[in-house]
Amino acid sequence: MSCENKKILVIGGSSLFGIYLIPLLMKEGCEVIATYVNGQEIRERTDIAEYTGGGATPEWTAMDVLDKDSIIKALKEFRPDIIYDFAVQNSVGRAWKDPAVTVDINVIGGINLFDAVRSIEGYSPRILRGGSGEEYGRADYDKLPMAETLQPKPNNIFASTLVCQDLLAGIYHRAYGMDIITVRTFNEIGPGMSRRFSVADFCSQFAAAHKEGRDSFILHAGNINIERDYTDVRDLVKAYAVLAEKGRAGEIYNAGRGHAVSIRGVIEMLEEISGVKAEIVVDPSRIRPIDTPKFESDCTKIFEDTGWKTEIELKDTIREMYGYYNK
């Protein structure tokens, strides 16, 4: 993307998207300001520098999306041209356990950002906000892959909050002319991902077994038959960057590989990569109250508007994630 004379604000700079997008933008010469939650330490991820490309660090500033005044303060100080909003509680599991916090961050936090922008006279940045393929939920499975025209039918609390935000973003765009683009990413994965998420947890378990010299081990998992459109975060941040330049205001775009793989399939990849066999034990605590059998993205729209498509093969991503834990 072209960064000439552009200031960029990355809300949630230490999120998985943030830590991969920031180096990409800075290599293009962008002036980047990244936010962290007031009272928490700035999380510089030197552990994944070999995967992100490292390089210059952004300017950091404290911001809490639940405190609209802190958002207004940052916007007035920096007046960014482009805002990437990654301040999302994105764990489906945590959303089941703590729905009120999830609603606060994902819905109220988004409204606070929109209203903070509107409060500044003559200010109209482009906002790219994070959605998720989870929003399609219990959609009509005879209509796979899932295109943006498919009616969302969320199957969990996390996805429901994002659908709510989609509706609000559309209203703010139509009513106030705000330049908002929603990116529905599908199952982002990559080195440095939190072990709260299944693929990173599996990579960690396989790496631990390999380090201990075991030929096999017991792998604790939830439903291994569900299929997901796992996509490398490095491809997805490129989607965000190109949409900032070429996306159409008020639109929703899917971003994914367009090919679903079962969790069992991921485990089989890890067995091949590590040389370790897994005896799978289903852990009831990892089973969701409701789950969606399959997610698979149709990314025709983003390709037609921007030319974006994924470049990294899933097995290569899994190999690097395994290597991250096997150091």
CB atoms within 10 A of CB 273: 20
169: CB partners within 8 A, 6+ apart: 110, 114, 129, 178, 180, 182
What residues does each domain of the chain span? 7-190+230-259+295-312, 198-227+260-294+317-325
Q: Considering the chain, what is the average pLDDT of its residues?
A: 93
pLDDT at 79: 97
* Average pLDDT of the residues in 261-284: 95
* Average pLDDT of the residues in 109-133: 97
User: Left if phi > 0, otherwise alpha if psi is -120 to 50, otherwise beta: which for 226?
Assistant: beta
- For the cut 70, the answer to whether the pLDDT of residue 304 exceeds it is yes
Amino acid at site 173: H
Pick the CATH number of 198-227+260-294+317-325 from 3.90.25.10, 3.30.530.20, 3.40.50.2300, 3.20.20.70: 3.90.25.10
pLDDT in tens, 190-232: 999 999 899 999 999 999 999 999 999 999 998 999 999 999 9
* Average pLDDT of the residues in 104-113: 97
Contact 227, 295 (CB under 8 A): yes
Architecture per CATH, domain 7-190+230-259+295-312, reads as 3-Layer(aba) Sandwich (3.40)
